């Protein structure tokens, strides 16, 4: 069982940033309005994510860290409203680290915690806890030293973990996110609400105020697929594509088709070695996109890639033209 989980961990948990992604998504699924992330040693020494969400009932703590136990599976695989649905993250993390899950639901008058070390379980015991859940991951990959060798160094891992928080935070402006710890990247993103204005405010919190000041709005629909958001003017560019934020049905994605469509749209106005800054939101029928091609990657598979590409290129070019660029 530990072995199976470690193999799964190789798929789901590539690096500290993958742990941060899974834990933050779990907190969001639990309806948290405040999520605190703490890291140390690039996340390899410590990742702690605490939330004020629904919590896990004492009787379900052990299940939560058992393989393929999810409280979120719905009958229709395409109808995935929650972010997690495989029930693989916690058991995978527990098989390659020292994991503690401490939680209390609103109706319970005390909390409880469970620990797993390299797959070995310590029974549930009472523990003081606020409403919500705290997940602490120490010594990531101590149980799989081969994996440790692939890490890029604490600075790079900390940056990747911060990037995950930023990408997710843009999609959830009503949630307060903080990132702190001994790693240099810190964030405090106050909750700003759920309106379109709030989204722009969150974008400014994450990407800097100068982005909205140098951006053009996008709002276009083609055959039921909607593209909204912002792209920078050609004078506001970067040497890499890291500042390109893209979302499909509210999920952060890193997708080749989207990146290449953005490049195509800017081809006439930007040199090849410069990249536009973007925050783009695609909305389409969930049945027309598979956002779970790979558990850890943020790739998506569109049923009609040509339509999506055409929409992105067309909408950006039109917006640039209307802005006289």
Q: Alpha-carbon distance 42 to 32, whole Å?
A: 25
- Contact call for residues 100 and 65 (beta carbons, < 8 A): no
Stretch in the footprint of ligand ADP (CB under 6 A) among 48-56, 185-193, 228-236, 237-245:
48-56
Q: Alpha-carbon distance 207 to 160, whole Å?
A: 15
For residue 133, state whether it binds Mg ion (rule: CB under 5 A).
no
Residue with tokens 């997710």: 168
Q: What is the nearest approach in angstroms of Mg ion to the Cβ of residue 88?
A: 8
b/e per residue 62-94 (b: at least 16 CB within 10 A) = bebbbbeebbeeeeeeeebeebbbbbbbbbbbb
Q: What is the DSSP string of 47-71?
A: EEEEE-SS---GGGHHHHTSTT--S
- Segment 63 to 122, residues that bind ligand ADP, using CB under 6 A: 64, 70-72, 84-90
- Contact call for residues 259 and 311 (beta carbons, < 8 A): no
- Segment 235 to 294, residues that bind ligand ADP, using CB under 6 A: none
For residue 28, state whether it binds ligand ADP (rule: CB under 6 A).
no
Q: Which of 16, 41, 43, 53 binds ligand ADP (CB under 6 A)?
A: 53
Q: Which of 5, 6, 18, 26 binds Mg ion (CB under 5 A)?
A: 26
Stretch in the footprint of ligand ADP (CB under 6 A) among 49-57, 240-248, 271-279, 304-312:
49-57
Site string for Mg ion, 78-97 (x = CB under 5 A): ------x----x--------
Stretch in the footprint of Mg ion (CB under 5 A) among 21-29, 114-122, 198-206, 250-258:
21-29
Residue 322 is classified by DSSP as: H
Binding residues for Mg ion, rule: CB under 5 A, are 26, 84, 89
Binding residues for ligand ADP, rule: CB under 6 A, are 22, 26-27, 30, 51, 53-56, 64, 70-72, 84-90, 133
């Amino acid at each position: 069982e530990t072995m199976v989980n470690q193999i799964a961990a190789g798929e789901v948990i590539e690096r500290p940033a993958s742990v941060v992604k899974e834990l933050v998504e779990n907190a969001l699924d639990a309806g948290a309005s405040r999520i605190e992330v703490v890291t140390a040693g690039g996340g390899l020494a410590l990742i702690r994510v605490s939330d004020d969400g629904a919590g896990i009932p004492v009787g379900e703590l052990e299940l939560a860290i058992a393989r393929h136990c999810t409280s979120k599976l719905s009958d229709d695989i395409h109808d995935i409203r929650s972010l997690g649905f495989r029930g693989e993250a916690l058991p995978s993390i527990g098989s390659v680290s020292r994991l503690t899950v401490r939680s209390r639901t609103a109706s319970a008058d005390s909390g409880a915690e469970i620990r797993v070390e390299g797959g070995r379980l310590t029974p549930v015991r009472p523990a003081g806890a606020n409403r919500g859940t705290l997940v602490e991951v120490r010594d990531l990959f101590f149980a799989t030293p081969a994996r440790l060798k692939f890490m890029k160094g604490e600075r790079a891992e900390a940056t990747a973990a911060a990037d995950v928080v930023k990408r997710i935070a843009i999609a959830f402006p009503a949630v307060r996110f903080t990132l702190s710890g001994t790693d240099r990247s810190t964030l405090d993103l106050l909750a700003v609400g759920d309106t379109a204005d709030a989204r722009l405010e969150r974008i400014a919190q994450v990407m800097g105020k100068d982005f909205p000041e140098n951006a053009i709005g996008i709002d276009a629909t083609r055959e039921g697929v909607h593209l909204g958001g912002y792209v920078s003017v050609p004078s506001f560019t970067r040497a890499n594509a890291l500042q390109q934020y893209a979302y499909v049905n509210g999920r952060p994605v890193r997708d080749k088709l989207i990146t290449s469509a953005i490049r195509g749209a800017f081809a006439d106005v930007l040199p090849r070695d410069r990249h536009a800054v973007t925050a783009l939101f695609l909305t389409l029928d969930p049945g027309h996109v598979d956002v779970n091609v790979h558990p850890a990657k943020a790739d998506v598979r569109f049923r009609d890639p040509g339509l999506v590409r055409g929409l992105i290129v067309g909408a950006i070019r039109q917006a640039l033209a209307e802005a006289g660029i």
